[in-house]
A = this chain, B = another copy of it.
Amino acid sequence: MNNSTPIYVGIDGGGSKCSAMLFNAQGVVLSQGVAGSANAARDFSKTLRSVVESVQLALINAGYGTDHMRHLQVGAGLAGACVPSVNAQLKAWQHPFANFNVTSDLVTACYGAHAGKDGALLIVGTGSSAARMQNHKLKQFGGHGFILGDKGSGAWFGRAAVTSTLEALDGLIPLSDLHGMVLNKLNINGSADLVQTMINASPSQFTAFAPDIIELAQLNELTALNLVKEGAAYLDKLCLRTLHGTSLSLVLMGGLAPSIEPWFSPVLRERIIKAQAGPEWGAMRLLQTPQLMAC
């Protein structure tokens, strides 16, 4: 690496993985490196390891030695990075790079999705949250995590299906195909086993039920249909709130986005466009305007 040629890194880190991309000064992708989870609010030290490892892999994939880390300009969007106490820890990090700016993964995803222009975003995967970027200022709606929020997310769908299955096993509601799917997938048949299997399950373990729930709803299975309608109605309202009073377009991201989109209202669907660029690009570009990296 010629140290006079600036190399930029954009990082997108979330609950499932951390992706780092190397860009040249013209914004052309040179390489990518992918490491483990990077939710800074859930596991801070693991997040720092994933960030460094993803950058090391990107350097190797571009043919550079990992000792070049200290010359890199790094911008990162990490899940949980805007939780105040976490943000303070991230700012205090003795990072191995030339420069390290960090904000929430929602900021960098929104900035990337609209190629640096104003726009709105809904992420619906393991979690759910929306945001809009206007005059380079981001405002977030929803989110709040598995315990307190994230309605309409994969984890929310999965937990709701398990809770409904327990109510059916209690005889409070009729046993339905949705409940049969939950029990079959785990290969168990009683309440006590179901509780023991899922009581400490992670959000992504709950999310594993989501594709089947949406498929059953598409087949008009009533219990699944009611869940999907409730989750989609919340997300629809969340997106309309995010877009309210603007003429912004909306990008959908996350593993559940394609299957939940058909359940949205026509008025929302006509605002949806495809993403212009990825979150790594957004992180790289925001790095160059660090005043925009605020939470």
Contacts and interface: CB of A to CB of B under 8 A. Distances in A.
Contacts of A238: 170, 172
Interface in A125-168: 141-142, 144-145, 147-149, 159, 162-163, 166-167
B84 A196 contact: yes
Contact of A199 (B84, B145, B196, B234): B145
A179 B176 CA distance: 36
Interface in A37-62: 41
A241 B170 contact: yes
Nearest to A192: B84
Contacts of A241: 170-172
Nearest to A199: B145
Interface string A174-208: 00000000000000000111011011000000000
A3 interface: no
A237 interface: yes
Given A170-B241, A241-B172, A199 B147 contact: yes
Nearest to A163: B148
17 contacts: A41-B199, A83-B195, A84-B196, A141-B170, A142-B172, A144-B163, A144-B191, A144-B195, A145-B199, A147-B147, A148-B162, A148-B198, A149-B163, A149-B167, A170-B238, A172-B237, A172-B241
Given A142-B170, A149-B166, A172-B234, 15 more contacts: A83-B195, A84-B196, A142-B172, A144-B166, A144-B199, A147-B147, A147-B198, A147-B199, A148-B159, A148-B198, A148-B199, A149-B163, A149-B167, A172-B237, A172-B238
